[in-house]
Structure 1
Amino acid sequence: MTKPIEKVRIDFSFRREVFFVIVGAMVGGVLMMLPDTIYGIISQGNYHTVWIIFGHVVGVYSQYTVLAGILIHFVTALSIGIVLGVFLYKTGLLEISKPVNGLLYGLFTATVVFLFWAIPVQQFILDPETSKTLVSMNPGLTEQQVLENIHKNLVIALVQSFIRNLIFGISLGLVSSYLTIKLGKRFRCPRCNISFSRIDLMNKHLSQIHSEKIPQIRIVILGGGFGGIEALKKLQRDFENEIQVDITIVNKDNFFLFTPMLHEVVSGMIETSHIAVPIRSFCKRARFIEAEVENIDTVKKIIYLKNRVIGGRTMQNRNGNNSSEQDVDPFNHFKICYDYLLFGLGGKTNYHGNEKLKQVTFSMKSLEDANLIRSHIISTLEQADILDNNNPTEYRRKRNLLRYVIVGGGFSGVETAGEINEFVRGCIKEFYHSIDISEIEIVLVNSGPKIIPEMDERLGAFALKELRKNGVNVLLSNRVHNIQRGSIVKTNESLFVHNTIDRSPLATYYSISKENDSIDETSLYVYLGDQDNISTYTVIWTAGVTTENVLESVTLGKDRKGRLLTNEFLQVGSSENVFAVGDCASIIDPQTGLPCPPTAQHAIRQGEIAGKNIASLVKYELTQKYTLLERFDYKTRGTMATVGKRKGVGVIFGIKILGIVAWFIWRTFYLNKIPSRAHKFRVIVDWTTDTIFGRDIARLKTPVELISRSSERI
């Protein structure tokens, strides 16, 4: 059996195609007026009358009237082209890479413009101005005579208008179709899924890479966070048409997660998928692999990966117990090689050596975490709403359900506490009327004497004041020693769980009589010290970040926190071909002499520099032309945090800002950083919807619940 001939797939760029429609609209705007202009010149008439009328419509009565008329005509043509072009491409009605579709698009445009633009404008705007203009140009005529003449020749005028719009539409359609066919294509390889802007490069790629199999320089990026994506963009721009360079990006998820807005997913203000941008949408000149990194051999330059299909035998196992090996989807183990490697693996939640905390707390690092926390919080509200305050056992359980503990007073902890506080109180006011607002307690536990220590002391104090003002119980200089389920502290003849703090008016004491045999053994007990403990069903751990486990086996220089040590060029140790950025790297900030903070803006700049330096080294291999590597140097634009209730704190270019102004700038800044126009728009819609309609409390079942429910049916 002969192997079928592989066809090159042709992709089209939305941005280019809309630009081509704009060019087509401009050409159409010229051609639609050309017959009248030529006829006016030949007959020695006032061919510029129409431009004078257009100029008068916009209020220009001077020597620039004709110029203003021409300008307004082309601006109108341009606007119509953009609107119809975007509408057409977004709805997918036609693909104008085919001439026939371009012609149909032109006819569609001509009809729409004639019916919904030309006729109304002619009747209500142009006709009155036409009569005035013609009277001023011909003093022997009265305005009444001109209007009668216009109405008498209305049908002829409409036919002429339709013909002009037909010329405009057909010109727009055919020109934009031609340009799209010639210049708008990207040619995608059917084997390795990368694309080129020119067909000759695509053919060269197929011939040399897949037939002759010439060696390539392989660049691998591990991690699809801020640093990895920024480096990917830079490398793709530099090597868009270089077939000897192979770029691969590997990430455990198939999307880039915009983490600064993760806490807004918890509250339901933003839909889950709206801050998750598919990594493949960035990959024009690169390949993407969704996989976990198992091991890295930096001597042999081999990366060992694994992945598996989710939803097969794993989800079919419904017994609710530990699965046997045959009940679990097997991992697919494979490996890839590299010549240049960029570490951008990010980090994971730091439990400071007590991994048991992972079993009883929520983390705040992924979309799964945010969805689980949201589902859990709504579940606690649903359960608390039906408990009886007059029953001591049920009331005790109710108070534990309505107490939410966040551990860690950094950016993530403060923003999470503020968002959850606002969400829970809003839900109670709107939906859960059996719960009194005074029964809610949001507790933020921080081991240090102040929250957000990265910020100025005044800003941290403002954030603390706002949190407490909004009802958050902030415990400073309190370290969590342990968290256990179903434990209780014994003191003399009483069993009690209490929270002692004299700095907050929200401090509460919960006394449980020893004779009472209905202790809530299913709740968690957070141990802060000798007798300072908190009982709750919800603990969210945000107390620090550490490196991924895979870095433990990497035989490269690391600091005491396990992060890869880099030089000023972001190269790891003495390895010229290995770079690191983001949370997994220890990069010294030349401005402070200290390691860079794990922020998105630093990771973006690091990714840009790493991409430049890798590109410089690769170009040297290809051309033997040496380019100096660029040192990492970045002056932070500032730091910002939200604290709920449309309040925030921040430092922007050294200027301290507080309150609603900081909150607004936070939103504007991070909205601009979302690397997708579509996702930016969706987030804006989410914010608008939340402002108008409030939060949604629909709770989607978690995978564990779904499996458990399925097992009960068997």
Structure 2
Amino acid sequence: MAAAKSKSEPTRILVLGGGYVGLYTAYGLQKMLRANEASVTVVDPQPHMTYAPFLPEAAAGAIEPRHVVVPLRRVLKRCHVLTARVTKIENEKKSVTVEAADGHIEQLGYDILVVALGAVARILPIPGLVEQGIAFKTIGEAIYLRNHIMTKLDEAASTLDPELRKRLLTFTVVGGGFAGIEALAELEDMTRFAVENYYPNIKTSDIRWVLVEAAGRILPEVRETLGVYTVEQLEKRGIEVYLSTAAKSFENGHVVLSDGTEFDTDTIIWTAGVKANPVLANSDLPLDKRGRLEATAAMQVVGHPEVWTAGDNAAIPDLSRTEEDPTATCPPNAQHAVRQATLLAKNIIKVLRGGKPKDYFHKNLGAVASLGLHKGVADALNLKIKGFPAWLFHRAYHLKAMPTWNRRIRILFDWILGGLFRREVISLGQINNPKDEFARVSKS
């Protein structure tokens, strides 16, 4: 059982999740809390926050992977950071069950709870998906994917089997949202650059990139004309785009699509949507039909004012759209997470000191996506921006949103060095199986 709090002890604030919302909420609290006013504990399975919009550039070698993560303990010096995974929330008992890094189970008590567990990849019941698919949500997956793709180029350059070579050089992305399009564009740029400069026996025409999207358009966050423009730009680069097409099977790397198309591949990148963290289902808090916490516009869980939430796991009313659609909620994107987190810390402080929280209101300023080096699309401030200006806009916006000046400066220097000396495309495939060589030697 979680230990009861003594009246003389500071208010216990427990933050579940160390992503953007969790990090910035805890950071805001540690700056505003008075001495002995409250204690803040942050729980996350990873000791760092990952800025997801930079994952495609990290995977493609434009940014050093370590620079897109923020160490929690370095930034949250006045908070207690616990590396553990949340398994159960019992708000009636003011208790959260966690599994610590060493495997032991622990119950944590609290007075104020912040649920910022984010989202996880949405897995569909497609044969072979779990065995063959590679998600694109974490820095580990981004690093793995980069090394995986570069390893496939190395294998293709050395094989004498034409069918195997074709399979190795076929790369598939499933999902046409921001994550899928940006990952596809950056990684296609990387493979083309690598082949043109370092693989003389592979032609760029040998490489096959395929995008599969079940809906009739891509990038639903921008106006349809920009989605059409993006498809046109991808197809000009030789990328095959299948719209209104579902994946039926991935068994043994054999892709079967709903329109009858079939091909073999060793690389299936799965970005077909996200869902709220399934841990929420193992709680006594109210959920909407999509498994997100039902929240007020002030980011308090409905019926439980001591529980706060924001980000991808929260159904927060979108006050900028509720007049036209009373059920409208904020979409799960970085733009809202950034702004919700800042206000969330201020609201908790206000309530802690007897005040009233402020409702979250943010009119969507638009969206921007990178389509690889020097290419992008933006739908912002009622303007349609394409090409190089949109790409600059994308970099400027996300550099500003990246937490801490330390990381911003490091990323800026990555870009400068990349412009001067070209991107790094070396394969570090051994990092995916570091013990293989040791095991091989031990048997000789």
Shorter-chain TM range is over 0.9
Identity %: 30
Matched letter for residue 262 of structure 2: N
Q: Does 1:462 align with 2:196?
A: no
Q: Which has the higher strand share?
A: 2
Specify every segment of 5 or more residues in structure 1 that has no aligned partner in the other structure, as ranges. Answer: 1-211, 310-330, 389-393, 486-523, 621-626
DSSP 3-state at the match of 2:54: helix
Q: Does 1:339 align with 2:132?
A: no
Q: Which residue of 1 aligns with 2:19?
A: 225
Range moving further from structure 2, 530-539 or 219-228: 530-539
Q: Could you say which residue in structure 2 is the equivalent of 1:95? A: none
The structure 2 residue matched to 1:420, chosen from 176, 180, 187, is 187
Which residue among 208, 216, 220 is the counterpart of 1:441?
208
**Residue aligned with 1:629, SS:** coil
1:357 equivalent in structure 2: 129
Structure-2 residue corresponding to 1:564: 293
1:64-107 Cα offsets, whole Å, 9 max, x none, are xxxxxxxxxxxxxxxxxxxxxxxxxxxxxxxxxxxxxxxxxxxx
Q: Tell me the distance in 1 between the aligned counterparts of 2:203 and 2:128.
A: 34
**Whole-Å separation in 2 of the counterparts to 1:550 and 1:254:** 19
Q: Which has the larger radius of gyration?
A: 1
Give the deviation of 1:614 after TM superposition: 1.6
- 2:386 equivalent in structure 1: 658
Q: In structure 2, what is the Cα distance between the partners aligned to 1:373 and 1:541?
A: 11
> In structure 1, how many angstroms separate the alpha carbons of the residues matched to 2:49 and 2:174?
26
Which deviates more, 676-685 or 448-457? 676-685
1:286 aligned to which of 79, 82, 85: 79
The structural deviation recorded for 1:228 is 1.6
8 Å contact kept, 1:421–1:471 = no
Deviation at 1:291, TM superposition (A): 1.2
| Greater relative contact order structure (CA < 8 Å, 6+ sep) | 2
Counterpart of 2:325 in structure 1 is none
Q: Following the alignment from structure 1 to structure 2, what is the Cα–Cα distance between the partners of residues 691 and 337?
A: 50
Question: In the alignment, which residue of structure 2 is the partner of 1:140?
Answer: none
Specify the alignment match of 1:598 in structure 2: 332
Correspondent of 1:369 among 126, 141, 147 = 141
- Whether contact under 8 Å (1:566, 1:587) holds in the other structure is yes
Pick which of 591-600 and 400-409 moved more: 591-600
Aligned mate of 2:399, from 653, 668, 671:
671
Secondary structure of the corresponding residue to residue 221 of structure 1: strand
**What per-residue deviation string (whole Å, max 9, x for no partner) do you get for residues 485-541 of structure 1?**
0xxxxxxxxxxxxxxxxxxxxxxxxxxxxxxxxxxxxxx111112632221110000
Partner of 1:675, secondary structure, is coil
2:148 and 2:429 in contact (8 A); partners too? no
Residue number in structure 2 paired with 1:301: 94
TM-superposed deviation, 1:699? 2.5
Mapped contact 1:582–1:603 kept (Cα < 8 A): yes
The TM-score with structure 2 as length reference comes to: 0.93
> What is the rounded CA distance, in whole Å, between the counterparts of 1:704 and 1:441 in structure 2?
24
State the Cα distance separating 1:396 from its structure 2 match.
0.9
Pick closer, same or farther for the CA change 1:568–1:355 going to 2, 3 Å.
farther
Q: Deviations over 1:601-621 (max 9, x none)?
A: 20122222322222122112x
Partner of 1:542: 271
Letter in 1 for 2:269: I
SS in 1 for 2:201: coil
Change over 3 Å in CA distance of 1:684–1:595 after alignment to 2: same
Matched, 1:268 2:61: yes
Once residues 423 and 432 of structure 2 are traced to their aligned partners in structure 1, the CA distance between those partners, rounded to angstroms, is 25
Unaligned runs of 5+ in 2: 1-5, 323-327
Question: C-alpha distance in 1, partners of 2:26/2:432?
Answer: 36
* Counterpart residue type for residue 294 of structure 1: T
CA–CA separation in structure 1 for the residues paired with 2:128 and 2:45? 24
**Cα distance in 2, alignment partners of residues 277 and 702 from structure 1:** 25
* Cα offset, 1:356, TM superposition: 5.2
Query: Per the alignment, in what secondary structure is the counterpart of residue 88 of structure 2?
Result: strand
Is the CA contact (8 Å cut-off) linking 1:417 and 1:472 kept in structure 2?
no
1:688 to 416, 438, 441: 416
Amino acid across the alignment from 1:559: D
Shift, 1:574, TM fit: 0.3
Q: State how far apart, in whole Å, the 2-side matches of 1:628 and 1:228 are.
A: 21
> Displacement, 1:213?
9.1
Deviation at 1:301, TM superposition (A): 0.9
Q: Indicate how the Cα distance of structure 1 residues 553 and 403 shifts in structure 2: closer, same or farther if over 3 A, else same.
A: same
Q: Shift in Å at residue 257 of structure 1?
A: 0.9
- Return the offset for 1:251: 1.4
Aligned to 1:208: none
Match of 1:253 in 2: 46
SS of corresponding position for 2:284: coil
RMSD of aligned residue pairs (Cα, Å): 1.8
Q: Helix, strand or coil: the match of 1:559?
A: coil
Show the 5 A alignment for 1:136-175.
none
Q: How many residue pairs are counted as aligned between the two chains?
A: 432
Change (3 A) 1:643 1:482: same
Measure how far apart 1:283 and its partner are. 1.4
